[in-house]
Amino acid sequence: MDLLPISLRIATRQVLVVGGGAVAQRKAQLLLRAGARVRLVAPRVRAELKALLPPPHEILERQFLDHDIDAVVLVVAATDDQALNERVHHLAVARQVLVNVVDQPALCTFIFPAIVDRSPLLIAVSSGGATPVLTRLLRARLETLIPSAYGSLAALMGRYRAVVKERLGTARQRLRFWESVVNGPVAELTLSGQPERAARLLEESLQGAGEPQRGEVYLVGAGPGDPDLLTFRALRLMQQADVVLYDRLVAPSILALTRQDADKIHVGKQRAQHTLPQEEISQLLVRLAQEGKRVLRLKGGDPFIFGRGGEEIQELAAANIPFQIVPGITAASGCASYAGIPLTHRDYAQSVRFVTGHLKDGSCDLDWPQLVQPGQTLVFYMGLLSLPLICQELIKHGASPALPIALIQQGTLPEQKVYIGTLATLAQRIAHESVKAPTLIIVGEVVRLHETLAWRG
Ligand code: SAH
């Protein structure tokens, strides 16, 4: 280890910045975030930087003088005058003051790591000046991995640290308690933006420490297939649930991101062959949560768009089970983007309608005249079997037989395929293809843009 990572408490301590440009400004901002008192010396100081440093900070708009370094705890030199940078470095070293000369590792006795700030939680990443690019890349990865509310969680735990120590006698009890906090509903409430409820629950669980854990249900939209389209929240809940209930639409590559040791239960649904009836799924959710489990109900696309998410949540609410709903990218958005078919477009469509193509008993109980409107894109979910009927009815109700239509198979997945035709031709065109589910149908002038905008498929 070439450098020792430490965290400095510099609030209200005097620090020195030499330089008045953009780089000096960035460093001054960082020092200010940690509460330092800044003395800044430079013959010219940019206006923005001046505005950052009202008294008691000091701005000395002149050449640097040796005594400027007196009584400071650290120095940053951010000038393009190499001789001056070296002078500042030597003065600081002679006085045993920490010094950083920006972008010159050899002249630094300390360096600024890249930071992920979830105060009071801080993560510092450093390559000792070897490769700032790699450091920044790693920092960006950590940023996306660590939910922004981790700071609130750390603050909450910090507030209760002393109380917990007082109430729970042994180190072992405390460890178990804090583990249940970070892995359980208190953390979950904090991360989903409900800090007051989290604090209340922490209080309650502290009183009843040792009592059985409460279960909860996460109704999560897994998006249309490409795992890159999951939300951060979806991924976090997927990695903490004890049991996963998923249906056929959830791609294997997405299921693979759930916790390795979680129980995984397949609950349907194949077209016309529901593996578990809806009521049983809802009852199963309730039962598992009542057993104290964290249950993930993973659904394709968005749970509230043709996903019957509403029904499942009603059951949970009736049984007084805590739940969270996480939206997902619905098939219409995913397929449209990946097929290069904008659902609205100033020149072609001013509105879009999501319609179920799952017609009861092959009959057509949709409001066809409403669907045949100029400037409107139609998206049919579950429409493959009804495709010929849909095309016929649209034409019968006044749509042009030449209106473009797209059938997107396995949208957003590597296997995605796009079939393009018109209301008059598409059904015929795919009659001899072995089209695989799931498929989505998009009808409207916007389909014409596929040729120019598609980047895949
Ligand atoms: N809740 C889901 C829709 C469930 S209904 C969502 O918001 O996307 C199931 C229908 O969604 C399928 O019949 C199909 O029409 C459509 N669908 C889901 N994923 C799809 C995909 N990757 N490609 C094409 N269509 C898809």
Q: How far is the CA of 290 from the centre of ligand 1 (A)?
A: 31
Ligand 1 site, residue 410, Cβ cutoff 6 A:
yes
Confidence category of residue 457, pLDDT binned at 50, 70, 90: very low
> Which of 278, 440, 441, 456 to mutate for ligand 1's pocket (most ligand atoms within 8 Å of CB)?
440
Ligand 1 site, residue 444, Cβ cutoff 6 A:
no
pLDDT in tens, 215-270: 899 999 999 999 999 999 999 899 889 999 998 889 999 999 998 889 999 997 55
Q: How far is the CA of 450 from the centre of ligand 1 (A)?
A: 20
**pLDDT value of position 184:** 82
Confidence category of residue 456, pLDDT binned at 50, 70, 90: very low
Ligand 1 site, residue 305, Cβ cutoff 6 A:
yes
Q: How far is the CA of 414 from the centre of ligand 1 (A)?
A: 16
Q: How far is the CA of 166 from the centre of ligand 1 (A)?
A: 53
Ligand 1 site, residue 225, Cβ cutoff 6 A:
yes
Copy the structure tokens of residue 223.
Answer: 């998006």
Q: How far is the CA of 410 from the centre of ligand 1 (A)?
A: 9
Q: How far is the CA of 302 from the centre of ligand 1 (A)?
A: 9
**pLDDT value of position 212:** 57
**Minimal-distance CA residue to ligand 1 atom 5:** 306
Ligand 1 site, residue 327, Cβ cutoff 6 A:
no
Going by their DSSP bridges, the two strands 417-422 and 404-409 should be labelled as antiparallel
Confidence category of residue 277, pLDDT binned at 50, 70, 90: confident
Taking Cα atoms as reference points, which of 295, 277, 299 lies closest to residue 286?
Answer: 295
pLDDT in tens, 303-354: 999 988 888 899 999 999 999 999 999 999 999 999 999 999 999 999 999 9
Ligand 1 site, residue 380, Cβ cutoff 6 A:
no
Closest atom of ligand 1 to 225 CA is: 22
User: Chain centroid to CA 49: how far?
Assistant: 33
> Which of 249, 341, 358 to mutate for ligand 1's pocket (most ligand atoms within 8 Å of CB)?
249
Q: Is 342 helix (H, G, I), strand (E, B) or coil?
A: coil
Ligand 1 site, residue 306, Cβ cutoff 6 A:
yes
**Minimal-distance CA residue to ligand 1 atom 3:** 306
Give the integer Cα–Cα distance in Å for 343 and 332: 8
Q: How far is the CA of 330 from the centre of ligand 1 (A)?
A: 7
Ligand 1 site, residue 59, Cβ cutoff 6 A:
no
Give the integer Cα–Cα distance in Å for 61 and 67: 15
**pLDDT value of position 279:** 86
pLDDT in tens, 174-195: 887 888 898 888 998 998 889 9
**pLDDT value of position 145:** 84
Closest atom of ligand 1 to 383 CA is: 15
Lowest mean pLDDT among 5-9, 91-95, 372-376, 453-457: 453-457
Q: How far is CA 10 from CA 15, 67, 111, in A?
A: 8, 21, 15
pLDDT in tens, 62-101: 999 999 999 999 999 999 999 999 999 999 999 999 999 9
**pLDDT value of position 188:** 87
**Minimal-distance CA residue to ligand 1 atom 9:** 382
Q: How far is the CA of 338 from the centre of ligand 1 (A)?
A: 14
Residue 297 has pLDDT above 50, yes or no: yes
Ligand 1 site, residue 381, Cβ cutoff 6 A:
yes
Residue 274 has pLDDT above 60, yes or no: no
Average pLDDT, the chain: 92
**Minimal-distance CA residue to ligand 1 atom 12:** 382
Residue 209 has pLDDT above 70, yes or no: no
Give the integer Cα–Cα distance in Å for 332 and 353: 10
Ligand 1 site, residue 201, Cβ cutoff 6 A:
no
Residue 283 has pLDDT above 60, yes or no: yes
Verify whether residue 269 is a known catalytic residue: yes
Give the integer Cα–Cα distance in Å for 96 and 17: 16
**pLDDT value of position 275:** 65
The residue annotated as part of the active site, out of 247, 293, 299, 302, is 247
Verify whether residue 293 is a known catalytic residue: no
Taking Cα atoms as reference points, which of 31, 30, 41, 37 lies closest to residue 65?
Answer: 41
Q: In the beta sheet, which residues pair with residue 408?
A: 418, 440
**pLDDT value of position 273:** 54
Mean pLDDT (whole number) for 393-397:
96
Q: Is 371 helix (H, G, I), strand (E, B) or coil?
A: helix
Is residue 244 classed exposed, middle or buried when 0-12, 13-18 and 19+ CB atoms within 10 A define those classes? buried
pLDDT in tens, 110-164: 999 999 999 999 999 999 888 888 998 999 999 888 888 899 999 999 999 999 9
**pLDDT value of position 367:** 93
pLDDT in tens, 47-65: 999 999 999 999 999 999 9
> Which of 273, 381, 384, 436 to mutate for ligand 1's pocket (most ligand atoms within 8 Å of CB)?
381
The residue type at 136: R
Copy the structure tokens of residue 90.
Answer: 């030597």
